[in-house]
Amino acid sequence: MITPVLAMHIPDGFLSIPVSVVGWLLFIAILVYALRQTRKQLGEHRIPLMGIMAAFVFAAQMLNFPVAGGTSGHLLGATLVSIFLGPWAMIVVMTCVVGVQAVLFQDGGILALGFNIVNMGVISGLVGYTVYTWLTKILPRTTVSQWVGAGIGAWLSVVVASIATALQLVVSGTSAFDVVLPAMVGVHLLIGIGEALITVATIAFVHQTRPDLLQARADNRGARWIAVGFIIALSLVFVSPWANPNPDGLERVAEDYGFIDTAQDPAYTILPDYTVPFIESDIFTTIVAGIIGVIVVSSLGLGVAYVAKRKPISSDQTPV
């Protein structure tokens, strides 16, 4: 009934347990923060607004246009929503969308839900939002700049989210790095164009019809930092193998387990009977170690930031 908009809803079974757990931790930390921000910024209006917007994103994902050869352009919507509602409400909205898709339509897994929301909501939306706000700031203040910002933001949002998805699959040992990365990213370089076109056209429509809804929302600096963090983290992952040729402890573990039959205690292994013959395992394991490091460090960072900012508990801050 509902066509999978993106090849990004990871089902259960495709992420290893440790990766899934990291995904949930990241997601919970970010969501708790986002919920608090929306309460501050949108007040009482937030529940009907975010609820309707979640239903809207769900319905808008069905609107498509033919591109060529039976394929069609679709919308993921995270960037669009972040431009209209700001990044924090976007995160809540996308949480609802991706969550309902997983539970009601079996589109994406339950244990994989953490990373699915992080990929399609947090990473996608924050990258799109950051690029959009940054470009509209440095470019001349015209509507065309707004379109350029939204277009590039939307395109990047899909591409970066697909890189993140591919890396999670690689770390889980579900696919080979040199196969899944070009495949996933290649497809989404194209899908991203559809996303960009629809996003720009929608912004243009709203600009002509209700320009007041396009006023930027205040106080979103945290969002930018998270997005920049993700982008730096992902690029470090790519650079690291060439920067550091000596495998250290963590890599060793991954490497060793890669060759050994790991039936003993799979919950704690990161790469169950898995090796990559095409690329030197040094590089591969460095990348893996890099990703794990990045994820652990960013979760820690977020945790610390959360605890440091903690205020008296109100009804809304019950852990998710």
Partner 1 sequence: MTNQTSPHIISAQHITFRYPDGRLALHDISFDIAPQEKVAIIGANGSGKSTLLLHLNGILRPQNGIIAIDGVPISDKTLQHIRAWVGLVFQNPDDQLFSAYVYDDVAFAPRYLGLSESDVKTRVIHALKMVNMEGYSNRVSHHLSVGEKKRIALATILTTNACILALDEPSAGLDPRARRDLIRLLATFTEQTLLICTHDIRLVADLCTRAIILDEGKLVADGATETIVYDQSLMEQHGLEVP
Partner 2 sequence: MLHLHPTRVSLLHRLDPRVKSVTAFALILGILITPPHTWRAYPLIWTLLACVAVISQLSAWKLGLQAGIALPFTLVAMTLLFTTQGRPIMMIGGLVIPDSGLARFLEIVIKSWLAMQVTLLLTKTTDFTDLLRGLRGLGISETLVATLNVMYRYLFILKDESERLIRARASRSGKSGGYSSGGTLLWRAKITGGMVGNLFLRSYERSERIYMAMVARGYDGRMPYTPLPPLKRRDVVLGLIPIICMAMIQIVVR
- Of residues 209-228, those binding partner 1 (CB under 8 A): 209-210
- Choosing from 204, 228, 283, 305, the residue that interacts with partner 1 (CB under 8 A) is 204
Q: Is 70 in the site for partner 1 (CB under 8 A)?
A: no
215 interacts with, out of partner 1, partner 2, none, CB within 5 to 8 A per kind = none
Give the shortest CB-202-to-partner 1 separation in angstroms.
10
Q: What is the DSSP letter of 266?
A: G
7 interacts with, out of partner 2, partner 1, none, CB within 5 to 8 A per kind = partner 2
Give the shortest CB-40-to-partner 2 separation in angstroms.
12
Q: 138 or 278, CB closer to partner 2?
A: 278
The torsion region of residue 213 among left (phi > 0), alpha (psi -120 to 50) and beta comes to: alpha
Q: 1 or 243, CB closer to partner 1?
A: 1
Cα dihedral sign, 69-169-302-249: negative
How far apart are alpha carbons 94 and 50 in whole angstroms?
9
Give the shortest CB-314-to-partner 1 separation in angstroms.
38
Q: What angle do CA 26, 27, 33 make, to 5 degrees?
A: 95
Q: How far is CA 219 from the centre of its chain?
A: 21
How far apart are alpha carbons 27 and 276 in whole angstroms?
30
How far apart are alpha carbons 209 and 11 in whole angstroms?
39
Backbone angles phi, psi at 66, to 5 degrees: -65, 135
Q: 202 or 231, CB closer to partner 2?
A: 202
Q: How many residues bind partner 1 (CB under 8 A)?
A: 5
In terms of Cβ atoms closer than 10 Å to its own Cβ (0-12, 13-18, 19+), residue 148 is middle
Give the shortest CB-72-to-partner 1 separation in angstroms.
16
Contact call for residues 200 and 154 (beta carbons, < 8 A): yes
Q: 1 or 138, CB closer to partner 2?
A: 1
Q: 200 or 223, CB closer to partner 2?
A: 200
Give the shortest CB-73-to-partner 1 separation in angstroms.
16
Q: Is 283 in the site for partner 1 (CB under 8 A)?
A: no
How far apart are alpha carbons 287 and 194 in whole angstroms?
30
Give the shortest CB-206-to-partner 1 separation in angstroms.
9
Binding site for partner 1 (CB under 8 A): 204-205, 208-210
